[in-house]
A = this chain, B = another copy of it.
Amino acid sequence: MRNFDFYAPARILFGKGEENRIGELLKPHATKVLLHYGGGSIKKSGLYDVVTASLKASGLSFVELGGVKPNPRLSLVYEGIALCKRENVDLILAIGGGSTIDSSKAIAMGVYYDGDIWEVYEQGKVIKKALPVATILTIPAAGSESSGDTVITNEERQLKYGYGSPHLRPLLSIMNPELFFTLPKNQLANGVADMMSHVFERYFTNTTHTDLTDGLCEVTLRTLMKNALLANKDMKDYDAWAELGFSGTVAHNGLVGMGRQQDWACHGMEHELSAIYDVAHGAGLAVLTPGWMQYVYKDNINMFVQFAVNVMGVEGSYRDPDAIVQEGINRLREFFCKMGLPGTLSELGVGEDRLEEMAKKSTGAAFGEEKPIGGLKKLYWQDVLTIYKLVK
């Protein structure tokens, strides 16, 4: 086990009806709130009315900024920063999924950042302060409700970059599984693929002596797969959504990756797809992950045998390790397929013409300074290109 620093202060208020408490919960921390949200589904569902009534009942004033899109855009972030400064907002309440929360975090640090907030993403500058962010989660997927991470798309430059800071950990997040009942099935599927990837990126490692976190990862993955199939059958299955939502938080609050070398190559490769083709992040990950496994598994076959046996339920005794791993990867592909997720880049609408460009961008080779991505196996742009082609 490696040394680690675990800090996950986001308070999670979980269960039926918790959104009614938002005013009372924010009252000690805010006077003027920015409500940040997406395309207006929260107005149709009635959540908007619940939240605004609760804020008013607690004597909190608020301003609003809707319009967050999947792969949240830098242009809206700029708008949010200006609005918060103009209105003296002292807390941002994100109502939505990862895109809305990530956009809120960008605005939260932008209010205090002296310069163009995109620099922080592009150059990894260290921020010292951010407005507090609270969230009401409507899509379990990104884990942004507990993480200190944010991913923003610079739509003009077709770049999608992530950034992380302890200052961006949400103050508190409300997670009521009932709010997930009205999601379309593809958002369930994309979300599950994203949550599973957050575990995979931490699970596949060359670090040894990781009994506890190995097991935590495996339990989280099995819980996600079991309950994804249940929710897929009945989109109003409270218990299934409860397991998915809670698992999504555990998947990305840092815990299951503590003391381990982590990987993150699949996220890096996927961000290139999203930046150019605006594909759903989870769908992109569902395509890339089995291809990545196929390409890298021989570098640490024991880890992939463990995955096949402990996560995918492959019978592991007295068998050829390659065959076990292959069956594990196949079962993962089958699971994604059952969830209606795509299996190839072409199903995502990604052609072959820009694969090399994306591969070169993913490692920085396109910008003159290549840094291989991935922990378990270092991937250069030629490796990434091979993986893209494996799943084309």
Contacts and interface: CB of A to CB of B under 8 A. Distances in A.
Interface string A34-59: 00000000000000000000000000
A260 to B, nearest CB: 11
A68 interface: no
A246 B14 contact: no
B209 A220 contact: no
A227 interface: yes
Q: How many copies does the complex hold?
A: 2
A256 to B, nearest CB: 10
A243 B209 contact: yes
A242 interface: yes
Interface stretch (A2-10, A153-161, A346-354): A2-10
A239 B14 contact: no
Interface of A: 1-9, 11-18, 208-209, 211-213, 215-216, 218-220, 222-223, 226-227, 239, 242-243, 246-247, 250, 255, 258-259
19 contacts: A1-B246, A3-B15, A4-B14, A6-B14, A8-B9, A208-B239, A211-B223, A211-B226, A211-B227, A212-B220, A212-B223, A212-B247, A213-B246, A215-B223, A216-B216, A216-B250, A219-B219, A246-B258, A246-B259
Given A209-B243, A213-B246, 16 more contacts: A1-B246, A3-B17, A5-B13, A5-B14, A7-B9, A8-B9, A14-B258, A209-B242, A211-B226, A211-B227, A211-B243, A212-B250, A215-B220, A215-B223, A246-B258, A246-B259
B15 A212 contact: no
B14 A7 contact: no
A15 B4 contact: yes
Nearest to A239: B209
A213 B12 CA distance: 15
A149 B145 CA distance: 26
Given A216-B219, A246-B258, A259-B14, A239 B9 contact: no
